[in-house]
Copies of this chain bind each other. A is one copy, B any other.
C-alpha cells in the first residue's frame, strides 16, 4: 500500500518547483532541489527526466540551466504525478480506472473484496485529484508561518 521512495522524491522535487514557480522562465538547478530536499542528485536527475517525458516539467540546459514546471501549479494534481511515476492509485488493479487488470478471483463481478476496494480507491482518488501543487505550496507556506503548531499529531 505504499508509495515508493522514487514517488516521494518526485513529489518533493515538484513541490520545490511549485514554490519557486514564476510566470517568466526562471529555472531551478537540480543541485538546489537535491540540497533542499536531501535527494541524491544522480537519482534526482533520472526522476526529473522522467517527469519531463511526462510533460510535467521542462528544462533549460547549459550553465544557467535547470528545471521548471511546464504548467502552473494549480493545474497539476497529485493524482497525475503519482499515476505517472508509480502507476495505479487503486489498491488492487481490478478496481483501477486507468490501469485495470483482471484479477484471478473466481468471479470478479461478485467479489465483495473488489467492492470494498473500489470504495477505498474512490476516496484515495478524490483526495489526490483535488489536491494540486498549488495547494501543497499554500499549505507549506502556512506551516512555515505557524511553526510548531500544537495541532501536530503524535505517533
CA A138 – CA B136 in complex, angstroms? 40
Interface size on A, as a range, is 35 or more
User: Does A51 sit at the interface, judged by CB under 8 A?
Assistant: no
Least CB distance from A88 to B in Å reads: 6
Interface SS of A by simple majority: helix
Check if A140 sits within 8 Å of B120, measured CB to CB.
no
Residue A106 at the chain B interface, CB threshold 8 Å: yes
Given A124-B123, A128-B120, A155-B100: A89 and B1 within 8 A (CB)? Answer: yes
Which of A91, A148, A152: most chain B Cβ within 10 A? Answer: A91
Distance in angstroms from A148 CB to nearest chain B CB is: 7
